[in-house]
Amino acid sequence: MGLDALGIAGSGLTLHRKWLDAVADNIANANTATATTGAAFQARYIVAQEGEGVSGAYVSGTALGDAEGLLVHEPDNPIADADGYVRRPDIDMAEQMGELIMAQRGYQANAAVIDRAKTSYEAALQIGRN
């Protein structure tokens, strides 16, 4: 299909949107404590894959972080076990903030590509006018 820069940049936008979603979920659950009998909240990471030929980038799946989490001593927590421990997710907030910025910048870069491509196509239509 013609005008393919639009489609390729669109696939990049979708990928970075999903990355943003994953980071948002991780940050939202960064403080979600669970009982020690179950698994901790697992951070979600998307797996990116290049498209066939020149067709952009796609999400081929997601990977989950550590289910073990961190055992934290919180005797006042209603879901704490007999020894006073709960599981907290092993999510590094600084790392997630870094990923958030990367996802945002990547999204913006792909949006810029679409803008430039459209401007270029419109410039091509001006060739030979007057």
Partner 1 sequence: MTIPAIGSAPAVSATSYLPASTGSTAADSSDSGFATALTGAVDNLQQLQSTSNSYAIQAVTGDLDDIHTATIAASRAQVTLELVAAVRNKGVEAFNDIMRMQA
Binding residues for partner 1 (CB under 8 A): 3, 6-7, 9-10, 13-14, 17, 111, 114, 118, 121-122, 125
Q: Name the minimum Å distance from CB 57 to partner 1.
A: 14
Phi/psi for 12 (5° steps) reads -65, -40
Query: Nearer Cβ to partner 1, position 3 or 82?
Result: 3
Min CB(118)–partner 1 separation in Å: 5
CB 123 to partner 1: min, Å: 11
Q: In the complex with partner 1, which residue's Cβ is closer, 71 or 111?
A: 111
DSSP state of 92: -
| Closest to partner 1 by CB, 70 or 114 | 114
C-alpha dist (Å) from residue 42 to 1, 15, 28, 64, 73:
40, 21, 12, 6, 19
φ and ψ at residue 36, rounded to 5 degrees:
-70, -15
Q: Which residues of 64-91 are buried (b: 16+ CB within 10 A; e: fewer)?
A: ebeeebeeeeeeeeeebeeeebbbbbbb
Q: Give 14 or 34: the residue with its C-beta nearer to partner 1.
A: 14
Minimal distance, residue 116 CB to partner 1, in Å: 12
